[in-house]
Structure formats: structure tokens, C-alpha cells
């Protein structure tokens, strides 16, 4: 989606609702600030309560807007409301002050909730739910003795204020809070151990700050004898504000779950802009999982393949899971995702249903690409088989018929030397010369079929041999050929050089020529150039036409540039990766 264009209607509605919600939060924070004006205390300290609440509101709005389907934004907002209500403890309104006292530690329970629900906002297991419920009960029920017996709410009913029940409740609350902190830390350490390195880099500092704040906020209160009350409260509220900011930043930079509404993905699928993001990237963005993979069902293989045609087994362990996508009742692909990040496969299925047609289209593309790859590999195997047969024939001719001709030439020479009659010696000499000529012709044929220099010494030295035989000055340049080449690529490259130099020597009327063999990454570039009369063409050159077929068969390409009077440049690019 282009920058500056309006988003999907659902996203626009969510943005408007969150803006309105933030405005309401600002209004209530301002109202509390006004209620605190008559209070005869350090105003700047008690004003921190609505200010910190605003920080939570803004952080919650940012997180909610960034990840609409995650409940983290909502939980942060609940923390902001709890902080705002807790600030009422400083007002002169008795009932409001008691409410503030009851909510004084709810923010710590919200922090435990955030820690255990991050990043989806959902509690993934029973132990997390038990800890969070216990945290809220500890923050409210166990806070009641302090609120009731020190706030005076029951005085009108004949229940006097009493510090002893409040102290007992406070002690029980501290013990329970410590136990919950230990349990929370245990769960978080276990999650860190099972998380991927990339996720661990985000989770570790977030968990560390969250657990540290949960422990420090009540601990700082023990320093009342050493520090003024205003300083203690300021430190506590600063830690509280940092919790909201930390989780909002975690949502922003953590590449964790982001709800992509079905409407947003559908809008993306309806666009046809050139160069739009690949389907995998769109689904990954929709699910908020950057590790998403999309694989495709190929009936001919009775299995799944990736976009390169490589067979893929669907995972069922190590935190990875897969959902099979169907179209018209037939499997077309599957979405592989992080099961820890997306514990509910229904979300993945929903995205899969929206993207099913696009996945089916990509499957057909992958099937065609796989067929083309199989065809290319088949053609490469044919070229390799032809090269092996050429090598066998050349070896048989060299080791068999050529040796026999050499022996016959020696025998003819022996007969020539032993003959007493001049006519017999002449005939024997002619026979020897004929045999030697046949042996030379056979030697050239063997060289043309499979040069011994290429087989024994490699491409560079074989090319040097060709260059040295040229009747005109010819320069050879090589680069990147330290690593060995495959035999098929080496053979094709050699015959391109041989054919190019042969045409230069026969037809170009050139004063000089050059050969370049350059390997960059997985491509070998061959250039044979001369400064001759030009005008060459491969349409009637059976040698170049045959080479072009071999180059095409192994997935390369060859071109000939030969303007009249401008010399000739024969260029080929051959894939030479492993």
C-alpha cells in the first residue's frame, strides 16, 4: 500500500476509535489533576499520578494501533486506568481516597499480566493464568485491610481504624507478592530458554525490567526512613511509567504478533501494482510473524515444496507448526509459522482462507517453475551423458586405433629398411607415410572430440594451448578460476573458445584477438573478440549453432556481436554454481 493512501476501512475505524479513547483518557487525567489542586501536599509529586497514567494511555494507544489483534494495548490501558484510580488516594474525597488505596498496587498485577501475556496479550497456559489471577487477588483483596483499617471507610458503621489488621494484611500481601514474583520469573526464564535468539534479544531486557520493577516498586517503600516520602513516590512512579514505555517499545520493535485483519490482507491481494511485496511477506505481515514460510502442494510429488521446488516436510515440533490451506476442497499449500507466537491456529487458518486463491496461483507458478527446473536438469544430464560418451570414444580411439596405427607405421618402417628392392622400399615408404598421415588425422580427430589438455590440465591451460596456436597475436585473461569447474561447464567453455578462435583464424582477417574467462560468483563469462572485418553470423554456422544449443541446455546464454568493419565479439555466460 502506497504511503499517503488511506488504509482499509477497518484500520481507519480503529485509528479513529483509539484517538477518541486517548482524548477521553486525557480528559480524565486532567480532571484528576484538578481534583488534586486543593490538597495540601507536595503538588508536583501527586501530579505524577495523572501524568504517569497519561504515559500508560499513550503507550497503550501506540501498542494497540501497532498490533490491533494483540491484547497488549488493552492491558496497558488497564494499567493506566489503575494508576489514575490509585492517584485518587491523595484527594480529600473519602470514598475516592479509599478506592485509590484499594488500587494502589493493581499496577504491579497489571505488570505481571503484561509479562506473562506478551506478545499476543493472551495467557498461553494454565500456570500463567493462575499466576495472573493470584496477582490481581493479591493486589486487591489483600490490599483491603490497609484500605479499610487505615482509610476509615467503616468508621460510620462503628468499625474504628486499626493499624494492626492493616499491618498483618500488608505482611501477607508482601509474602504473596514475593512468591508470585518468583513464580513469574520461573515462567519467564523457561520461555527465554525456549525462545529463538532473535526473540530472546527483545524479551530478555523486557522481562528483566518488568520483573525488576515488580520487585523494586514495593522494596523502595522500605527506604522511607532514609529518603523523603516525595522522593520514594517519585521513584516508584518513574518505574511504573517505564513499564508502559518498555512494553510499547517491545511491541514496536520486536516483530511480534501483529493482527492483520482479513480486510487488510484482502485489500493487498486486490492490488496489482508492479513490484508489490511477495505473498510470503504479505502473510508474514498479516500474522505479525517474520518467520512465516509458505509452501505449495505438488500432486506429482504427493508432497509440499518451497518456491524453489525443494521438497519440504511440515513441522510438528521445535515451536513450529503448519496449517494446510485448501481451495475447492483440494490442498494448495500450507503456512508454516511460529506456534509460540501464534498459539491459536484459527488465526492462521483465517488468513489462509483469505489468501487461498493467491496461494493456489503461486502453486501453479511453482509447479511450472519446478517443471522447467526438471527439464533443465534433464537437458544438463543429456549434455553430461554426451560428454561422457565423447570422452569414452576419444579414449578408445587414442588407446586402440591410434596405437595400432603407430605400431603399423613402425612395422612399415621396418619393412622399408629391410627391403632390398628399390620398388619394394618405395612402396613400403609410401605405406608408412600413409599410415603416419592417418595417425595424425586420427590424433586431430581425438583432440577435436575431447582435447587431452582439457582433460589432463583443466580449462585455463587448455585455453592457453589454443591461444598459443593462433597465427595472430592473441591475449588471454582469466580471473576467479582458482576453484574447480564442473566437467560439463568446462567442456562447453573450452569448445566456445575453440570455435571462436577457429572462426577468427579462418574468416576474420584480424590483426589481433583476445580471450577472457571471468568467473564472478556462480557465473562464468567467456568472451572471444577480434578486430577483424566483422559481419559474422551464427545462422549459417553449424558449429556456433550447436554450441548455442549446449549453452542453452545447461541454463546459460550466448550472443554474437559482429557489425561489419567493427570486429567480432562472441560472449557466453554459463552457470557454474555447486
pTM of the full structure: 0.49
User: How many whole angstroms separate alpha carbon 64 and alpha carbon 70?
Assistant: 7
User: How many whole angstroms separate alpha carbon 107 and alpha carbon 96?
Assistant: 17
Percentage of the residues of the chain whose pLDDT score is greater than 90: 14
Instruction: For residue 341, give the nearest of 70, 61, 60 by alpha carbon.
Output: 70
Show me where the domains of the chain are located.
9-253, 266-373, 384-449, 458-575
The third-level CATH classification (topology) of the domain covering 458-575 is Heat Shock Protein 90 (3.30.565)
User: How many whole angstroms separate alpha carbon 243 and alpha carbon 349?
Assistant: 34
The pLDDT confidence band at residue 2, using thresholds 50, 70 and 90, is very low
Cell 482462507 belongs to residue = 353
Stretch 117-135: mean pLDDT, rounded? 87
Element containing residue 192 per DSSP (H, E): helix 163-194
39-97 tens-digit pLDDT: 766 767 788 889 999 999 999 998 888 777 678 889 999 999 999 998 888 887 777 87
6-53 tens-digit pLDDT: 444 445 566 788 889 889 989 998 988 888 887 766 767 788 889 999
Q: Alpha-carbon torsion 484, 489, 492, 497, what sign?
A: negative
Burial 371-398 (b: 16+ CB within 10 A, else e): eeeeeeeebbeebbeebeeebeebeebb
Instruction: For residue 288, give the nearest of 195, 199, 193 by alpha carbon.
Output: 199
429-488 tens-digit pLDDT: 777 777 777 777 766 676 666 666 676 778 888 899 889 989 999 999 999 888 888 878
The pLDDT confidence band at residue 263, using thresholds 50, 70 and 90, is very low
Please return the burial class of 190, using the count of CB atoms within 10 Å of its CB with bins 0-12, 13-18 and 19+.
exposed
330-353 tens-digit pLDDT: 888 888 988 877 777 887 888 887
Residue-level pLDDT at 510 = 92
Cell of 263: 480486510
Rg of the chain in Å (alpha carbons): 41
The third-level CATH classification (topology) of the domain covering 9-253 is Rhopdopsin 7-helix transmembrane proteins (1.20.1070)
pLDDT at 159 over 60: no
Q: Are 83 and 56 in contact (CB under 8 A)?
A: yes
- SS3 label, residue 260: coil
191-213 tens-digit pLDDT: 888 777 767 787 888 888 888 88
Strands (E), 309-369: 311-312, 320-327, 330-338
350: Cα within 13 Å, side-chain hemisphere: 15
Q: Are 529 and 570 in contact (CB under 8 A)?
A: yes
Cell of 166: 492493616
492-522 tens-digit pLDDT: 888 899 889 988 998 889 999 999 999 998 8
Element containing residue 519 per DSSP (H, E): strand 513-520
User: How many whole angstroms separate alpha carbon 482 and alpha carbon 464?
Assistant: 15
- SS3 label, residue 142: coil
User: How many whole angstroms separate alpha carbon 114 and alpha carbon 249?
Assistant: 13
Instruction: For residue 460, give the nearest of 480, 474, 485, 478 by alpha carbon.
Output: 478
pLDDT at 1 over 50: no
Q: Are 135 and 109 in contact (CB under 8 A)?
A: yes
Residue-level pLDDT at 475 = 94
Instruction: For residue 105, give the nearest of 76, 144, 69 by alpha carbon.
Output: 144
* CA triple 559-564-565, angle to 5 deg: 115
Residue-level pLDDT at 162 = 61
Q: Are 523 and 557 in contact (CB under 8 A)?
A: no
Q: Are 560 and 543 in contact (CB under 8 A)?
A: no
Burial 427-461 (b: 16+ CB within 10 A, else e): ebbebbeebbeebeebbeebbebbbebbbeeebee
Amino acid at each position: 500500500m502506497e504511503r499517503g493512501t488511506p488504509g482499509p476501512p477497518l484500520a481507519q475505524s480503529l485509528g479513529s476509535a483509539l484517538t477518541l479513547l486517548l482524548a477521553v483518557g486525557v480528559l480524565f487525567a486532567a480532571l484528576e489533576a484538578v481534583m488534586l489542586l486543593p490538597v495540601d501536599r507536595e503538588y508536583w509529586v501527586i501530579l505524577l499520578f495523572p501524568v504517569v497514567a497519561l504515559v500508560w494511555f499513550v503507550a497503550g494507544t501506540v501498542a494497540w494501533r501497532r498490533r490491533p489483534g494483540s491484547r497488549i494495548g488493552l492491558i496497558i490501558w488497564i494499567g493506566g486506568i489503575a494508576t489514575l484510580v490509585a492517584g485518587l488516594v491523595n484527594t480529600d474525597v473519602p470514598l475516592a481516597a479509599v478506592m485509590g488505596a484499594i488500587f494502589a498496587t493493581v499496577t504491579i498485577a497489571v505488570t505481571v499480566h503484561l509479562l506473562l501475556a506478551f506478545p499476543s496479550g493472551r495467557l498461553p497456559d494454565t500456570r500463567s493464568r493462575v499466576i495472573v489471577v493470584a496477582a490481581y487477588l493479591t493486589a486487591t483483596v489483600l490490599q483491603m485491610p490497609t484500605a479499610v483499617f487505615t482509610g476509615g471507610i467503616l468508621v460510620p458503621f462503628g468499625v474504628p481504624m486499626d493499624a494492626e489488621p492493616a499491618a498483618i494484611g500488608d505482611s501477607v500481601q508482601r509474602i504473596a507478592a514475593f512468591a508470585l514474583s518468583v513464580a513469574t520469573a520461573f515462567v519467564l526464564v523457561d520461555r527465554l530458554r525456549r525462545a529463538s535468539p532473535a526473540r530472546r534479544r527483545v524479551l530478555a531486557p523486557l522481562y528483566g525490567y518488568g520483573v525488576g520493577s515488580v520487585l523494586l516498586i514495593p522494596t523502595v517503600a522500605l527506604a522511607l526512613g532514609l529518603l523523603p516520602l516525595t522522593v520514594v513516590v517519585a521513584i516508584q512512579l518513574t518505574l511504573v511509567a517505564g513499564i508502559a514505555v518498555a512494553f510499547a517499545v517491545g511491541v514496536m520493535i520486536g516483530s511480534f504478533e501483529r493482527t492483520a485483519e482479513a480486510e487488510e490482507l484482502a485489500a493487498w491481494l486486490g492490488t496489482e501494482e508492479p513490484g508489490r511485496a511477495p505473498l510470503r511477506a504479505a502473510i508474514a505481515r498479516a500474522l505479525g510473524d517474520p518467520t512465516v514460510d509458505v509452501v505449495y502442494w505438488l500432486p506429482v510429488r504427493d508432497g509440499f515444496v518451497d518456491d524453489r521446488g525443494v521438497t519440504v516436510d511440515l513441522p510438528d515440533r521445535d515451536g513450529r507448526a503448519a496449517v494446510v490451506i485448501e481451495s475447492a476442497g483440494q490442498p494448495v499449500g500450507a503456512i508454516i509459522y511460529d506456534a509460540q507466537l501464534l498459539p491459536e491456529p484459527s488465526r492462521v487458518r483465517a488468513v489462509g482462507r483469505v489468501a487461498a486463491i493467491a496461494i493456489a496461483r503461486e502453486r501453479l507458478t511453482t509447479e511450472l517453475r519446478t517443471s522447467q527446473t526438471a527439464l533443465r536438469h534433464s537437458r544438463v544430464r543429456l549434455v553430461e551423458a554426451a560428454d561422457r560418451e565423447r570422452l569414452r570414444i576419444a579414449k578408445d580411439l587414442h588407446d586402440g586405433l591410434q596405437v595400432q596405427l603407430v605400431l603399423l607405421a613402425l612395422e612399415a618402417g621396418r619393412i622399408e629398411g629391410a627391403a632390398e628392392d628399390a620398388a619394394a622400399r618405395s612402396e613400403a615408404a609410401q605405406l608408412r607415410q600413409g599410415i603416419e598421415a592417418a595417425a595424425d588425422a586420427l590424433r586431430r580427430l581425438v583432440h577435436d572430440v575431447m582435447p587431452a589438455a582439457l582433460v589432463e590440465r583443466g580449462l585455463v591451460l587448455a585455453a592457453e594451448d589454443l591461444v598459443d596456436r593462433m597465427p595472430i597475436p592473441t591475449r588471454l585473461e582469466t580471473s576467479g578460476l582458482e576453484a574447480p569447474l564442473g566437467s560439463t561447464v568446462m567442456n562447453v567453455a573450452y569448445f566456445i573458445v575453440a570455435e571462436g578462435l577457429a572462426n577468427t583464424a579462418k574468416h576474420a582477417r584480424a590483426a589481433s584477438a583476445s580471450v577472457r574467462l571471468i568467473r564472478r560468483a556462480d557465473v562464468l563469462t567467456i568472451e572471444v573478440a577480434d578486430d577483424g572485418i566483422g559481419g559474422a553470423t551464427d545462422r549459417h554456422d553449424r558449429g556456433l549453432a550447436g554450441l548455442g544449443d549446449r549453452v542453452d541446455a545447461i541454463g546459460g546464454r550466448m550472443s554474437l556481436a559482429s557489425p561489419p568493419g567493427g570486429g567480432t565479439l562472441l560472449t557466453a555466460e554459463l552457470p557454474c554454481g555447486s
